[in-house]
Chain A
């Protein structure tokens, strides 16, 4: 049982606050760190990996401070986002070197390469690898000492769907075996497929925490905005506003449409077609107007 504890951690670079007073606990199983690009996910992972000191607060591994503590790497494996990785070595040489730095030998390296299914290309230079192959060799280098904690920064970036499935399967297995696996991503579907627990970071702040159902609900329960065109906008508006699932309606004369703000997503989606039928109104357009991830995230921050 290995747990990373982040308590009131902040990190700023000059005047820019990258991580702002974040408190979270990352325990066994797969945790997804979700947030838009530039939210501070990498900064947070770098603090957990011992590559950055928190400007404030603490980041610990089973109670031990991580910063300036090389001994934590016996338990932690890291898959960095950056590509630099001794391109002049072969995949095997690279993983063997990583094993040796842990005081292990070629056997451990071969095992790790087998785990990521890279044995077939292990004698080629890393310079010749595709992005997905590099990612897998990075994984092997992080798994070589069978760490109880695995930290991955945007591991699915640039992978094709098949490689993505393989890596997800591998991470899921590691989580099921009781290891603490944390990966970052800016794609909700990725996180939802893999992580049993999700931490959401937006603009450096810890916006939400929970299992994916809870996060989904938070995301679907937020006020939804719709643009609706119908055969009789004003009658429709009057009927909809009578129901508590609708918080506001604007009649946009220039667009010839209604701008509707719904607060109860489930109820509203059921209400709209029913009201239209009852009043014999034809719905011409129903489109969500703010489904971008950024708007979803910014709602979570405000909540």
Chain B
């Protein structure tokens, strides 16, 4: 299923100079915030949890997911270079699967690593907060990558739609409407983090079994559907 050549091309496209710089801005900001909070407030478990939950998990990870997930396939479809992958005896689902692995690993590196570093700066992993949010970041990376890879496959406006989902749905809508929170990658990954953290530090609106089922379900369904869409992707010429 995993094709190393497809992976190499995708990594090089994703980690080109400009895109890599964009991917680094948010993690740098997170670590900066963590250092500032630690300097002004000292060690506080609740504040550490608020920073990681409010900025890292709610804003940074979905945005990195959008950049890596849509960026793993969208530009190739846009400029037509995907032809060179499609015109090969390589199955379309294996192209999608490989791109998913690449998007997941990029999202993980650029979100989980800075989340862990920021957590260590904030309270030195007191109450297991740094580790718990890192686990949440890893879990969220998988689901976001699958969702945004699908989006990049089916829509030319993937980045815009992805940003709207990440910012409006996950951040704004999720905090206002209770129902929206059940259908949120952020809440699902929080449910996983809840189990590993200290008592009362992290709360999720979704129970762990439901969260795991939804995470796995969304990831598998999105990947399957993206593979299907790629099989029937029509490359209309410029005529």
- Docked complex: A126-172 residues within 8 A CB-CB of B: 141, 153
Contact A42 B239 (CB under 8 A): yes
- Docked complex: A77-105 residues within 8 A CB-CB of B: 77-78, 80-86, 88-89, 97-98, 100-103
Q: Does A46 contact B (CB under 8 A)?
A: yes
Cα distance A215–B28 in the bound complex, in angstroms:
67
Q: Which of the 9-residue segments A67-75, A187-195, A219-227 touches chain B?
A: A67-75
Among candidates B6, B233, B238, residue contacting A82 with C-beta atoms closer than 8 Å:
B238
Contact A82 B83 (CB under 8 A): yes
Contact A101 B79 (CB under 8 A): no
Contact B89 A71 (CB under 8 A): yes
- Docked complex: B223-238 residues within 8 A CB-CB of A: 231-238
Q: Does B9 contact A (CB under 8 A)?
A: yes
Q: Does A38 contact B (CB under 8 A)?
A: yes
Contact B239 A78 (CB under 8 A): no
Q: Does A76 contact B (CB under 8 A)?
A: yes
Q: Does B178 contact A (CB under 8 A)?
A: no
Q: Name the residue of chain B whose CB is nearest to the CB of A141.
A: B84
Q: Does B86 contact A (CB under 8 A)?
A: yes
Set of chain B residues within 8 Å of A101, measured between Cβ atoms: 3, 5-6, 84-85, 88-90
**Which of A18, A50, A70, A77: most chain B CB closer than 10 A?**
A70
Q: Does A53 contact B (CB under 8 A)?
A: yes
Contact A46 B81 (CB under 8 A): no
How many whole Å from B65's CB to the nearest CB in chain A?
Answer: 23
Contact A82 B80 (CB under 8 A): yes
Contact with A along B2-24 (1 / 0, CB 8 A): 01111011001100100000000
Contact with A along B138-163 (1 / 0, CB 8 A): 00000000000000000000000000
Contact B5 A97 (CB under 8 A): yes
Set of chain A residues within 8 Å of B4, measured between Cβ atoms: 100
Interface residues of A, CB < 8 Å — how many? 38
Q: Name the residue of chain A whose CB is nearest to the CB of B78.
A: A84
Set of chain A residues within 8 Å of B236, measured between Cβ atoms: 13, 46, 52
Set of chain A residues within 8 Å of B80, measured between Cβ atoms: 80, 82-84
Cα distance A89–B76 in the bound complex, in angstroms:
14
Set of chain B residues within 8 Å of A74, measured between Cβ atoms: 89
Q: Does B87 contact A (CB under 8 A)?
A: yes
Q: Does A32 contact B (CB under 8 A)?
A: no
Contact B81 A86 (CB under 8 A): yes
Contact B232 A42 (CB under 8 A): no
Contact B6 A52 (CB under 8 A): no
- Docked complex: B195-239 residues within 8 A CB-CB of A: 231-239
Set of chain A residues within 8 Å of B3, measured between Cβ atoms: 101
Q: A80-B80, A100-B5, A101-B5 are in contact. Are A43 and B237 (CB under 8 A)?
A: yes
Interface residues of B, CB < 8 Å — how many? 33
Cα distance A270–B81 in the bound complex, in angstroms:
54
How many whole Å from B156's CB to the nearest CB in chain A?
Answer: 14
Contact A70 B89 (CB under 8 A): yes
How many whole Å from B229's CB to the nearest CB in chain A?
Answer: 12
Contact B89 A73 (CB under 8 A): yes
Q: Name the residue of chain B whose CB is nearest to the CB of A71.
A: B89
Contact B81 A84 (CB under 8 A): yes
Q: Does B46 contact A (CB under 8 A)?
A: no
Among candidates A40, A71, A88, residue contacting B13 with C-beta atoms closer than 8 Å:
A88
Q: Name the residue of chain A whose CB is nearest to the CB of B77.
A: A84
Q: A76-B87, A86-B84, A102-B88 are in contact. Are A97 and B8 (CB under 8 A)?
A: yes
Set of chain B residues within 8 Å of A9, measured between Cβ atoms: none
Contact B231 A43 (CB under 8 A): no
Q: A52-B236, A80-B80 are in contact. Are A88 and B12 (CB under 8 A)?
A: yes
- Spell out A's residues near B (CB within 8 Å): 13, 18, 37-38, 40, 42-43, 46, 49-53, 68, 70-71, 73-74, 76-78, 80-86, 88-89, 97-98, 100-103, 141, 153
- Spell out B's residues near A (CB within 8 Å): 3-6, 8-9, 12-13, 16, 76, 78-81, 83-92, 231-239
Given contacts A37-B239, A77-B87, A101-B88, 18 further A-B contacts (CB under 8 A): A42-B239, A50-B86, A51-B83, A51-B234, A52-B234, A68-B232, A70-B89, A73-B87, A74-B89, A76-B87, A83-B80, A86-B12, A86-B84, A89-B9, A100-B5, A101-B6, A101-B84, A102-B88
